[in-house]
Amino acid sequence: MRTASLITCLSLVVLGVPSQSHAQFLCGEPTTLTFDVTSKIVRSRTGFTQGLEFRDGLLYESTGNVGGTTQLNTITLDGKVTNLADQGRRVFGEGLTILNDEVVQLTWQEREVFVYDLAGKIKRRMRNPRDGWGLSNDGTSLLFTDGGASLYYADPKTFKIGKEIKIRLGKSDVTGANELEMVDGKLYANIFTTRTIIRFDPVNGCIDAVADLSNLWEVMTPQERASTDSHENVLNGIAYDAKTGLFYLTGKRWRVIFAGRFRDRLK
C-alpha cells in the first residue's frame, strides 16, 4: 500500500477535528514503514494481550479479562507462558511498561495502577485520574493514552499527570493510540481495531511514520489466522529488544507473536 493510500485509510478511521492547540503547526507527511517478519513464537496458551514489553530475554505481558482474568505474564522466546500475578476479573488490565526495575500495569475504567517487582510481587498501587489504554516510558516519566487524541506524562511515583501532548497527522488530532513502545526516542502505537501501527514524536505529537501490518495475516497458518477471526482479537502488542533490534508484534488472543524489523518502504 502506497503512503498516500495508507494515510487516507488512517484518516478515515481515526482523525477528528483540526487540533486547536496546534492550529498553526503542521506536521510533515509521514513515511511508510514495512515490517519484515524474521520468525514467530507460538504461545503455550493465549492471552487477551493489552501490553507487551521485552526485558532480560523475556516478554512481559498484561492481559485484559476477556475470556479469562487480568494477568501479568512472562513469555519465553520459545513460547512458554508463565503467570506472575493475577488480579482476577474485578479489573480490566491494560498497558504495561518497565521503569527502574518496576513493572507498571494500567487498568481500563477502574483507573487502578499496579506496580510490581520483576518477579510479579505487588509493591504498591496508584490512582490514574483517566482511563488507561497504552503505556510506555521515556526513562523518567510514564507516558500513557486514554483512547482520545492525547499522550499524557505521569509521575512514576504518584501518577500525577504533568504535560499533555496531542497526537497529530498534519493539523488533525488522531485518536485510538493503544499499545505503546518507546524506541530511540519515538513512540510506536497500535491504532485500536485497525491493522495500522504509527510512529510519533512524544515531544510534539507528530506522526512521522505509518505501517500497514496486513502482511502478518499472509504468513499465518490457517489455525493461527483463525485465532484472529473475532472482532475483539485485533492487532495489539509491541515490544522491542534493543540488543537485537527486533520488534515483537502480536494481537489479542493470538496464537503467535511475530519477530521482525521495521524498515522504510523506500529503502
Tell me the sheet residues that pair with 32. Answer: 210
Q: Which residues contact 233 (CB under 8 A, 6 or more apart)?
A: 227, 251, 252, 253, 254
Judge contact between 49 and 61, C-beta under 8 A: yes
Judge contact between 228 and 254, C-beta under 8 A: yes
d(CA 233, CA 236): 8
Judge contact between 126 and 115, C-beta under 8 A: yes
Q: What is the pLDDT of residue 12?
A: 46
State the Cα torsion 106-110-111-117 to the nearest 10°: -40
Cell numbers found for residue 115: 506496580
Q: What is the pLDDT of residue 195?
A: 97
d(CA 33, CA 93): 29
Judge contact between 228 and 202, C-beta under 8 A: no
Q: How many CB atoms lie within 10 A of CB 126?
A: 19
Nearest 5°: CA angle at 51, between 256 and 221? 10
Q: What is the pLDDT of residue 67?
A: 86
Q: What is the pLDDT of residue 25?
A: 72
Q: What is the pLDDT of residue 19?
A: 57
Amino acid residing at 109 = Q
Q: What is the pLDDT of residue 8?
A: 52
> What is the DSSP-derived secondary structure letter of residue 163?
E
Series of mean pLDDT values for 10-residue runs along the chain (267 residues): 52 52 74 98 97 98 94 98 97 98 98 98 98 98 98 98 96 96 98 97 97 97 93 96 98 97 84
Per-residue pLDDT reduced to its tens digit, 42-79? 999 999 999 999 999 999 999 999 989 999 999 999 99
